[in-house]
Amino acid sequence: MAQTLVRYEWQQDWRAARPRSGVSLHSHTSCSLERLDFIPRCRQRCPWLAPLLERYERRYRRSLGCPLDYSAAWWTPPLGPREALRVESDQIERLGLRPLVSITDHDTIEAPLALHLLSEVSRLPVSVEWTVPWRGTVFHLGVHNLPEPRARGLMRQLAAFTASPRASDVEPLLDHLASHPEVLIVLNHPYWDEQQCGAHYHAAMAEQFLARYRRWIHALELNGLRPWKENRRVLDLAARYRLPAVAGGDRHGCEPNALINLSCAADFNTFVDEVRCRRESSILVMKQYREPLPARILAAVADAVGDRQQGWSGVRWKDRVFFRDAGGRVRSLSECFAAGDEPFPIRLFVLLARVGGVPAVRHTVGWILAGGEEFA
């Protein structure tokens, strides 16, 4: 029988079990390509944005003779691999625990492999957040602790599926991954309708996906950037399928993961055994999760458009925004616009994001937008 315990940092009883380690799952680095194809979908939620987008889309078409393809544009998070690892480790060490960190960038394992060049982090698990298109929606699987000698080959297979998905390929790929006993497969934020195909439809597909592939899925994720109401639904889903739930922070900015795992394991392989074989999990909700989610998202957006000093990844935010031009060449936004020459909607967005990231502003706006959102 699967068992998941949820504890809270502000309640000291979490120390009673005497955990040895804190485990940070699901965080992103500057190696992660974050697609901008969500922008057209924002028209429905932000009608005032539509005229601005349409104006610049027309200008783009007139200049280059082709429509603006948002799927060919992306940004990268502000923290490099080493900085991201330090942010997660520092939080866990502050609790007096041994840090076990698994970085999961979107569809790439370059960050953990780069960190393996540093002797002090040679035991960092090689992990990825795998994008799985499925029946009109998309699921994300946290695939943790790939065997390093085979990691690149496995990643090529996963990336090939994402680029050209066939439903018949999901089962053999999952079976191949799960055949490695040290690998942990987690269904991340199962109720998040990222593609906005309809919440009810996505939830129904999540149930179908889980029912069909439950044999190869070891846990469901409580997500640090999703509302608590949604995470409670995930706990119910996990209980129905007799699976443990694990914590995944989903950090994209500079704030450390708001949900971590507590473990008696001294290394990541033993943690995998706790979840995968013993089906036991203990989740610690950190203090920052109590802050209204809109405020935390504002802070993450401000991080994304912030200019970092030396020692952080990406000095200017424009150096971390990319697109593929009509000729197929990858260009950064900084190549196209000098300082202050960005189109007005971009300058306005950056200004508002930075103002929104000011603590006093984001706390105020966050509470207003949260609308009294509950937390248990």
How does pLDDT run along the chain (376 residues), one tens digit per residue?
789 999 999 998 899 889 999 999 999 999 999 887 777 766 666 666 677 677 767 766 766 667 777 778 888 999 999 999 999 999 999 999 999 999 999 999 999 999 998 765 668 999 999 999 999 999 999 999 999 999 999 999 999 999 999 999 999 999 999 999 999 999 999 999 998 899 999 999 999 999 999 999 999 999 999 999 999 999 999 999 999 999 999 999 999 999 999 999 999 999 999 999 999 999 999 999 999 998 898 888 888 888 865 454 446 788 888 888 777 788 887 887 766 666 666 676 777 778 777 888 777 877 777 765 555 5
C-alpha Rg value of the chain to the nearest Å: 21
Q: What was the pLDDT predicted at 71?
A: 75
Integer Cα distance of 304 and 141 in angstroms: 24
Opening angle at CA 229, ends 45 and 206, nearest 5:
75
C-beta separation of 258 from 285 below 8 A? yes
Integer Cα distance of 292 and 370 in angstroms: 6
Paired strand residues for 131: 140
Positive or negative CA dihedral for 96, 100, 106, 112? positive
Best CA proximity match to 25, nearest among 222, 267, 255: 222
Integer Cα distance of 90 and 147 in angstroms: 26
Positive or negative CA dihedral for 308, 223, 115, 20? positive
Opening angle at CA 153, ends 152 and 159, nearest 5:
85
Integer Cα distance of 158 and 109 in angstroms: 11
Q: What was the pLDDT predicted at 340?
A: 61
Integer Cα distance of 215 and 203 in angstroms: 19
Opening angle at CA 53, ends 50 and 55, nearest 5:
105
Integer Cα distance of 152 and 36 in angstroms: 26
- pTM more than 0.75: yes
Q: What order of strands is seen across the sheet that includes strand 126-134?
A: 126-134, 137-146, 184-188, 219-223, 245-248
Distances (CA, A) of 249 to 103, 205, 261, 335: 10, 23, 10, 33
Joined tokens for residue 49: 């944005």
Q: What was the pLDDT predicted at 344?
A: 66
Task: Estimate the share of the chain in helix, then strand, then coil, as percent rounded to the nearest 5.
Answer: 45, 20, 35
SS3 126: strand
